[in-house]
Each structure stands twice: as C-alpha cells, then as structure tokens.
Structure 1
Amino acid sequence: MRATALLLALLSGAAPATAGTVVSDVVSDVSVTIYRDPGRREGAMNHAWPGGYALISETRTLRIPAGESVIRFVGVADGMLPETAIVSGLPSGVREKNRDARLISPAGLVDAYLKRRVTLQRTNRQTGQVREQDAIIQAGPNGGVLVQTDEGVEALGCSGLPERMLYDGVPDDLSARPTLSVLTTNDRAVEVTVQLSYLAQGFDWSASYVADMADGGATLGLFAWLTVANGGGQGFADASLQVVAGQPNRDRARRGPPTGPPPALHLQCWPMDITSTYPRWSLTPPPPAPPPPPPAPMMAMAEESIVVTAQRRTALMAAPVAISAEQEELGDLKLYRVPIRVTVAAKGQKQVAMLNQPSAKFARRYVASVSDGDEAPRPMALVLRAKNDKASGLGLPLPAGGVAVFEPVAGRNLLAGEDQLADRAIGEEVEIGLGDSPDVQWTLKRIGEDKRRQDWRISVTNARPVAVDAEFVVPYELADRPAGVERGKGGWLLKARVAANGTATLTYRVKLDR
C-alpha cells in the first residue's frame, strides 16, 4: 500500500494537498521574454548551459477558500529567482513567498527520510525469499546510502541481490515539479484570475545568419534565424515568445537559485564485503564517504533542429518567409516578437525566421596588421564589409550571432567561412571575416633606419584572376603620411589596389621615440 500511494502521488504531478492548501498546476496563458547572456556579447551561445535569463508571466485561475491559505504554483521554471516573483490579482495580496526547490526523486526521497524509518524490500541471501525489513537511513544520498537494521549497518545496494526502499508517503516539502508557495488570507471564498511574473535563469537566445554570395561576391543574400534555448526541465506550451536585443543593466544575483539534492541516487559499496558480515563488536566506523560526483551538466538539448541544405537555402532566399519575428522598440533596446504561439520546450531549442535581406551589398577587402609582419610571404585575411543602411540593402538592427557564408562553385554552394557578428545598429559598419586567403599574400621588409625613423616596404602579390583591394593597419606613429592614408580601427590605414595576377608595393616611415 505504501508503494502504491507513493506511485500515485508521483503520477499526479503534485504532493497531496493539505487543509488550507490550494494547488495551482494549470496555466491558461504564458508569455516568455528571453534576454541574452549578459557576459556573452557576440560569442557563441552555450546550448547545453544557457547563461541568460527570461521574464515569465503566467495567468492562472484559482478557487481560494476563506481564511489563511497556502497557494502552491506548480510548474514554475527550474531557475526561478523567487525574490523577483510578483503575484497580482489576489484580493488580500501576498504575505509570504517560498521557493520549494526540493523535488521528488530517488535522492530527494532519501534526503527527506534521513534518520527516519523506512521499509527495505530485499531478498534473503540464504533462502532467496523476498522479505520486508524495517530500517533507518543513517547517511545519504551523496556518496552512498547507509541503512541500519536489526542486523547491523549496511550500504544499500551492496548485497548483489535486488533491494529497494518503501516509504510511508511523499513528504509535504517534496514536489514533483518546481513550485512557488505564497501565503494569503481571505475573509471569504473567491475564484480569482491571477498573474504570476518572475525572472528565471537558464535561458538564452542568439541570431544565426546564413549568407549566400552572389554577383561574384559583391552581394549577399542574408537570412537569419532566431534561435532560443531553454536549459531547464520545465517547458512552456503555447507561449507568447519575445526576445530582447541589447544589454539591459542588471546586477548579478548574489546567489544562485535554490537547489535540492541531485535527482540521481549514486550508491557506493565497500570493495570486498558488507559490514553486517562481521560481528557487531568488530565494527569500526566506516571510512569517509567518497566525495559526491560532480553535478552532471544539463542534458544535451533535445534540439528542434533545422537542417538548411543548399537547395532549401536557395528556396528561403527566393520565397517570402511565412512566419518571421517582428521587430519592436523597447526603450533603447530592440524587442523581437514571434507572431504565433510556440512551445518553449524543456531542455530544447527553437528556431524562427528573423530577417531576410536578399541583396545586401558587401565589399571584399584583404586586410593585415603590420605589427606581426615578416619577410616570408604570409596570407592576408579576407573580410566582407558593408554599411548597415538601406542603400546597402540592409538598414535593420542586426543582433549578435554566428554567420555562415556560402559561395557558389560549379553549381554548388560551398562553405566559404564562418564568423561571429557583433550587435550592429543602423548606420554602423558590418564586417564578416572569412579567414586567410592563400591567393593574396604579403611581405614586410625594413629598408632603412636613422635616429628618428624607420623605413618599411610592403609587397603584395595577387594570384586571383580579378583585381583586389588590400588594406594594412599600422599601429605606430607615422613620420610622414603618404597620400590617401587615413586613421582606421587600430592604427593608420594604408590601401593598395592590386591588379589581377599582379603585385603592388607600399612604403611608409615610422617615427622613433629616442
């Protein structure tokens, strides 16, 4: 009977209600607004351990009796920050809030019944008969479980025969799902619709760009997915989904969300035997329990993956996108709203179309910094540059994210390079790095020096069948400024146009501080 009662409680999704307890486990409406990991900037999102957070707003309908009541909001996010929770709609407000972090699990039950009596169902080693035996849990759940019976002290699961523990019931402080409890008082029974809003850790989002070169690399068809990740074990079905681009000012939480014991039960045994094999007077204190295993990382996301083949990408660029996130203003931030209801699955990802700019004009540039030059030929880095304005075929805020660039070769689209794109506002320069090019190489040689200056020469070779534009960043103060030199990011910018299958030479003078 005890085992049956526990099983029914587990399947019901909530601990049995007590007098004065209202259990709310039905959500009629939910909104999820996800903010990026504030420490990530333009780096790649960690899908297995999202470092951002979300504002979650739920609508629930409750029947509250007269008098003092404990309302248990079952099914909140695992990473809920209880100090941020706001409950509106209760006639008398909230007197107290508690985040119930202890969840029903094998380890959670052992932890709740520590130093308490349970029933062991085990097989007799001599007869093979299954029998029940009273026991007291003396240690656990980390580093093994020690139980004491009338036969002595033993480590659970070390007899080599089937063993399991039966419990009288589910303790009141254990929940099947993460729960927020609030205390309220009413002078009469009422039915109310309340709004529960809170911040929760364990979410993140990123833009994922796919770019197809066209017109010999002069334009890009730029398409972006909005990718959201939920690292927690609680999903949100049929939710209104929004994401926020930018960095709102938010202090780090002084502590992480409350946690109970780990869900998995790790049993440890002595190498050779069990302690009850020996007479009680020979028992010595057991050796220190081994340290608990490190917490397992969040389970790999059950991704709702979207595989974009060359044919599908071409179709996406050519055809209008039926569903795309809509951009709105949120003060100085940008909010992207998904126009349909979606499910933000537990330990999952979701992708929604974000933007589609079919003909963005990008210039190809080959760049190098002369601070690490050499007389031996070195390849230059190829970058694609554009100004984020309507004249260039862009003119939209571009959130940070990864970008994969494909180039047509013999009728097939091949990967030309990948890069991380930083947040770019309208009017800013957009730059995508595609890696080093073996076709365009350069050398650096010192050709003169005196007490006040050094003379240097840059030689560039172009093995491509078309002319290329080369740029060199000089991070030193120039003694003389050649014609056309300008200040760039990181230093003075020297430019050269290199003919197809040709060479070019640049010279400059560096001022010495002596």
Structure 2
Amino acid sequence: MSSMKKTLIASALLFATAQADTHLVESNRQASDEIAITLYNNGTALVNESRSVLLKKGINQLLLKDVSAQIRPQTTHLKNRGNSALQLIEQNFDYDLLSPHAMLEKSLGTSIEIRSFDPTGQKVQETATVLSTNGGLVLQYPDRIETGLPKDAQLIFKQIPDGLKASPTLSLLLASEADEAAPLEITYLTGGFDWQADYIATLSKNETEFDLTGWITLKNNSGTTFENSKLQLVAGDVNQTPNYGSPRMMKASMVVMDESAYLPSEESFSDFHLYTLPMKTTLKNNQEKQLSLLSANAIPLTKEYRFTHYVQDHSESKNRKAAIYLLIDNTEASNLGMPLPQGVFRVYQERDNGEALFIGENRIPHVAANETFEVNTGNAFDVSVSESVTQFERITKTRTQSSHQVIFKNAKKVPVVAKYTEQFGMKGWRLLSVSHEPSQKVGTSATWNIEIPAESSVTLTYKVDLETESK
C-alpha cells in the first residue's frame, strides 16, 4: 500500500472517530447521468447508476437518495471515475420513509399540535404529548388522556423527526483526498424486480404452422421509480444465497416491416443469455410493463395426441382423453433460431370468420437455439382411449403374462395419429404378440403411433411377459 493511501485511510479513521468537519452532500435521482438495470428471473435486479457529486477534501457524508427501497446494502460497490482517491468508511441504509404513521411513531414522548373543530364549528387547537401508537393513538393533553383523534382532526408537527427520509436513502461516509466533482458509479443488487417472457401463438386453420409474438413482461415492486433507464435481461438460473434481511449499517470496502431496430439484441454471456433493450424506458414503482421481444411468421409445428399408461398399475380406463402437444423446432429453418427465455406460451386459433379463440397455455423453460420444445395446451375433447386387461396369468413367483386391449376413438371429422406409450416399469419385459407393431422400444417402455380414421375407432391388442422381480 502506498504511503499516500495509508495516510488517507488513517486520516479517514481519525475523522470518522471525531465526527468533526464532516461535509454533507445530498444527491437525488436528478443528479444521475446514467441508469442501467439488469433484471434476473428470480426477482433480483442489478442497478448500475452514475452520479456526479461535489466532494470536499476530508470527510463527506454522502446521502444517495432515491435508491431502491429493497436494496441489499451489503452488495453495494462504489467506484470513483475521477482522479481523487476515495475511502468508503461506513454506509447506512435509511429505509424509514416519511409517512403520517411513521411521523407519529418517531414523535413518541414529544408534543404535537392537534387542530379540530368543536360542536359549533369553531376551530380548536390543542397541544398533546404522543404516549403510544401501539394498536392505536394515545395522546396526553394538559388535563386528560385520550385515545384516537377527533373527527376531521389535523396533526401539526414542528419538524420532521430524525431518521425519516422522503425517499429510500443510502448514506455513505467517505474520505476524499481532494475537492472534486466526482463522477461516481454505484452498483448494487435489489429485490422487488422480476421479468418473464410471454408468447402469443396464433395457429393456422390447418394446424400446421403458426405466427408468434413475444413480449417481455417487467414488474417493478422495488418501492422506487427508475426513469429513463437502460434495461438488460438475463435468461438463465443464477445461483444466489438466501437473503435474510438487510442490515441498517455495515462497513464496506471499495415481418411486413423490419422490426429489428425495435427488438432486444441477444448475446451469450458466460453460461447465460443477455437481452439488451434498444431504447431506454421508465419503470415506475408498482408497475407492470410489456415490451416487444420477437415477431415471427409461418413457423411449422407438429401436433401430437398423447397417451401414457403404466402396466404395473393394472388400471383400466374408459374414454380417457388425449393430451395435446405442439412440437416446435427452434431453428432458423423454422423462422426462429434464437434463445427463448422461459415464460408462458399462450395459443390462439382463428375460426373461419377470422375470430381468434384461446385454446390453451403452458409454461416453457429456457429454450436454446436449435432445440425442440413442446407446449401442452390441454386435453382433446374428441380423441380418447379405453384400456382393459383381458387376461392375467402368474407364470412364476417373479413372472407374469397379461393381455391388454386398448380402444382408440376419434370423433373428429379428420383423421388423427395417437401416440400411445406403455410404461412397463422394468427392463425385464417382452411382447409375445401384438396387433400393431410399436414404432419405438426404449428402456422400460414401448410406443405406438396409431392412425385413427375420422369418426372411427382402432383397437390395439398385445400380450406382454413381465419379470416383476430380480431372480
């Protein structure tokens, strides 16, 4: 450590102990040169703010007003872009905000004025001492003690009680080696923010392709409004330790048209994906805002009707409905090919008259480029299955043989393909006979793709030999 820095730190500690000649500097949001907010999927945001402040040589009490009300003070990082060396000695987060109730609580044991009106309408003003605000207001007048307030009463305070702030304030005790208009960069993590992607897909009438619009939904419940801010979004699961509260004080050390210009840019960053919005925006407190993420047309899809059954349950069913899945390739060939953040995928379909009806939604995870993802939109009304066991025989203590009948029904006016997966639950299985050959045998399951004509039914039968336990 250089002798200059040693001297600066020593003098800072001396001044901090003496609390003498401290220069008070107040900085509000209007002093900000730049605000950048990076939002994560887990309710956290990183705020990076640049402010120019006039510091004096020696000790400065810097009040940074209008920070997030849910700031995590222990994550604060301060950097001086100027020439002078700074030493951060102490910081306090003052989150007792100014309100009528807070003023009363801070006025316990002091006198306030109560202005009201008597039964004749004449103005009455009295002095009383605030005794308690616990469960209600208790006031001591010169000749009595009362609870509550007269109707239409006004409270008059001589001054704002100590410790109350009009806005969330981060108080920093700084030592500066010289007078300077210091360009400071303040970075901190805060709660109260969240974002997710919302997708709106409109299916074609023949259900072979769809148009897609993506929105970013931003939520600000941080207790603070951030105006004219640069926004970035991180897609991915960033690990964080639990936050058990914020201490008040701590010691710290230093398609028809080209829409691309209005859509976020995307880039890989470490093991995550970063989306940068092209224009600055204002995030008001307690506001939910939507911004455009993507727009794509004529995206091909595959629609599947799925059934899954577990043989070991020995369960039978009647008219069990098929689960509907839409399979989508996130590739450039499919007019997509970009990382898709997790979010809610809502599906609409146009009727013959052009009216769009909502047909289902599902939450999708983060989808990387060139991956296939699927959306479960619900259960089919007209495609069902009935399952039954027609024969069961125990061959040995560990082996069984059973015959199964599966009846597929399609009440639609068009043919469909049902994907039926039978889970045998163990590797020791063998099909002895089948009416339809399975399209796939993997591990402990077999899958059939059954073509069902319009307004018709198809029956699948099979007999299976199961090794129920290890020998």
TM-score, length of structure 1 as denominator length: 0.77
Match in the other structure for 1:354: 293
Shift of residue 488 of structure 1? 6.9
Match in the other structure for 1:27: 32
The equivalences for 1:237-386 within 5 A come to: 237-255=227-245, 318-321=256-259, 322-371=261-310, 374-386=316-328
Separation in structure 2 between the aligned mates of residue 114 and residue 465 of structure 1, nearest angstrom: 77
Question: Are 1:62 and 2:53 matched, yes or no?
Answer: yes
Question: Are 1:471 and 2:471 matched, yes or no?
Answer: no
Task: Give the 3 Å change call, closer, same or farther, for CA 375–247 of structure 1 in structure 2.
Answer: closer
Letter in 2 for 1:370: H
- Preserved contact between residue 364 and residue 469 of structure 1 (Cα < 8 Å): no
- Preserved contact between residue 70 and residue 223 of structure 2 (Cα < 8 Å): no
- Bigger Rg, structure 1 or 2: 2
One of 343, 361, 386 as aligned partner of 1:418: 361
- Preserved contact between residue 80 and residue 257 of structure 1 (Cα < 8 Å): no
Match in the other structure for 2:96: 102
Match in the other structure for 2:410: 462
Shift of residue 485 of structure 1? 4.4
CA deviation string 1:65-116 (max 9, x = no partner): 2332210000001111111111111732211111001111001111111122
Shift of residue 490 of structure 1? 9.5
Match in the other structure for 1:497: 451
Task: Give the 3 Å change call, closer, same or farther, for CA 139–379 of structure 1 in structure 2.
Answer: same
Letter in 2 for 1:20: H
Shift of residue 226 of structure 1? 1.2
Task: Give the 3 Å change call, closer, same or farther, for CA 398–492 of structure 1 in structure 2.
Answer: farther
- Preserved contact between residue 321 and residue 381 of structure 2 (Cα < 8 Å): yes
Match in the other structure for 2:131: 138
- Preserved contact between residue 51 and residue 185 of structure 2 (Cα < 8 Å): yes
- Preserved contact between residue 41 and residue 194 of structure 2 (Cα < 8 Å): yes
- Preserved contact between residue 53 and residue 203 of structure 1 (Cα < 8 Å): yes
- Preserved contact between residue 117 and residue 134 of structure 1 (Cα < 8 Å): yes
- Preserved contact between residue 476 and residue 510 of structure 1 (Cα < 8 Å): no
State the secondary structure of the residue aligned to 1:346: coil
Shift of residue 439 of structure 1? 1.4
Match in the other structure for 1:280: none
- Preserved contact between residue 87 and residue 176 of structure 2 (Cα < 8 Å): no
Shift of residue 344 of structure 1? 1.5
Match in the other structure for 2:158: 168
- Preserved contact between residue 444 and residue 456 of structure 1 (Cα < 8 Å): yes
- Preserved contact between residue 229 and residue 281 of structure 2 (Cα < 8 Å): yes
State the secondary structure of the residue aligned to 2:32: coil
State the secondary structure of the residue aligned to 1:394: coil
Shift of residue 241 of structure 1? 0.4
Separation in structure 1 between the aligned mates of residue 245 and residue 184 of structure 2, nearest angstrom: 28
Match in the other structure for 1:5: none
Match in the other structure for 2:143: 151
Shift of residue 419 of structure 1? 1.7
Shift of residue 459 of structure 1? 0.9
**Which sections of structure 1, spanning at least 5 residues, go unmatched?**
1-17, 38-51, 259-316
Letter in 1 for 2:296: Q
CA deviation string 1:113-166 (max 9, x = no partner): 1122222223345x65323322211111x5211111112221122x3x332221
- Preserved contact between residue 96 and residue 182 of structure 1 (Cα < 8 Å): yes
CA deviation string 1:150-193 (max 9, x = no partner): 12221122x3x332221121134111010100001234322111
Letter in 1 for 2:367: R
CA deviation string 1:369-390 (max 9, x = no partner): 2248644212212111123333
Separation in structure 1 between the aligned mates of residue 190 and residue 331 of structure 2, nearest angstrom: 36
Separation in structure 2 between the aligned mates of residue 340 and residue 463 of structure 1, nearest angstrom: 51
Percent identity, aligned pairs only, is 25
Letter in 1 for 2:116: R
Question: Are 1:236 and 2:226 matched, yes or no?
Answer: yes
Query: CA RMSD for the aligned pairs?
Result: 2.4
Separation in structure 1 between the aligned mates of residue 352 and residue 135 of structure 2, nearest angstrom: 61
Separation in structure 2 between the aligned mates of residue 124 and residue 80 of structure 1, nearest angstrom: 47
Structure ranking higher on relative contact order (CA contacts 8 Å, 6+ apart): 1
Shift of residue 411 of structure 1? 2.9
Separation in structure 1 between the aligned mates of residue 334 and residue 221 of structure 2, nearest angstrom: 38
Alignment length, in residue pairs?
Answer: 422
CA deviation string 1:372-419 (max 9, x = no partner): 864421221211112333344332212111112111211322222222
CA deviation string 1:224-258 (max 9, x = no partner): 11111111331111111011000011111122587
- Preserved contact between residue 205 and residue 349 of structure 2 (Cα < 8 Å): no
Separation in structure 2 between the aligned mates of residue 446 and residue 112 of structure 1, nearest angstrom: 75
- Preserved contact between residue 122 and residue 163 of structure 1 (Cα < 8 Å): yes
> Could you say which structure has the higher strand fraction?
2
Question: Are 1:117 and 2:111 matched, yes or no?
Answer: yes
State the secondary structure of the residue aligned to 2:163: coil
- Preserved contact between residue 425 and residue 444 of structure 2 (Cα < 8 Å): no
The equivalences for 1:182-193 within 5 A come to: 182-193=172-183
Separation in structure 1 between the aligned mates of residue 343 and residue 465 of structure 2, nearest angstrom: 38
State the secondary structure of the residue aligned to 1:473: strand
Question: Are 1:77 and 2:77 matched, yes or no?
Answer: no
State the secondary structure of the residue aligned to 1:107: helix
Match in the other structure for 1:40: none
Task: Give the 3 Å change call, closer, same or farther, for CA 512–139 of structure 1 in structure 2.
Answer: farther
Letter in 2 for 1:150: P
Letter in 1 for 2:450: A
- Preserved contact between residue 304 and residue 324 of structure 2 (Cα < 8 Å): yes
State the secondary structure of the residue aligned to 1:234: coil
- Preserved contact between residue 307 and residue 322 of structure 2 (Cα < 8 Å): yes
- Preserved contact between residue 326 and residue 339 of structure 1 (Cα < 8 Å): yes
Most deviating of 229-238 and 475-484: 475-484
Question: Are 1:480 and 2:435 matched, yes or no?
Answer: no
**Which sections of structure 2, spanning at least 5 residues, go unmatched?**
1-20, 249-254, 395-399
State the secondary structure of the residue aligned to 1:79: coil
State the secondary structure of the residue aligned to 2:262: coil
Task: Give the 3 Å change call, closer, same or farther, for CA 91–488 of structure 1 in structure 2.
Answer: farther
Match in the other structure for 1:288: none
